[in-house]
Amino acid sequence: MASNKTTFFAPQLFIPHGVTDISFYAKAFDAVELRSWRNDDGSIHVAELSIHGAVFHLHEEHSEKGQFEPTRTKGITAIVGLFVEDVHEVMDKALHAGAMPITPTQDYEHGYRQGTIQDPFGHQWLIETRI
């Protein structure tokens, strides 16, 4: 993980209240849970995860702050771009872990190989590499 003196992005992805199983991220992306804060019922309040040093958070939604999980709004406002060495391998692994395909892996004239999946909580991930 980056030090406190390094600037980096750490997206917060909102999930529904009551979620206890976030194993998709470990299965799909080899994510490691660094730490988490759980509610009294054992559900996730916040979980900090890392994919090979890239940190992101899962956070239960806060409707009072206008922070909703994607399935509630039936849409998204951002896509998480994940740069990897082998797009096909990561896409296949994510699909086997329960992701839904959005766009198949393909090469683009702008110099990227990309494919898009949707995770079980409605977040879209653009799996990509420079070619």
pTM for this model (two decimals): 0.86
pLDDT value of residue 1? 52
pLDDT at 35: 97
Cα distance between residue 115 and residue 51, in whole Å: 18
Return per-residue pLDDT of the chain as tens, 131 residues: 555 577 778 899 999 999 999 999 999 999 999 999 999 999 999 999 999 999 999 999 998 888 899 988 888 888 999 999 999 999 999 999 999 999 999 999 999 999 999 999 999 999 999 99
Domain 12-130: which topology?
A: 2,3-Dihydroxybiphenyl 1,2-Dioxygenase; domain 1 (3.10.180)
- Residue 106 Cα distances to 15, 85, 129, angstroms: 29, 14, 11
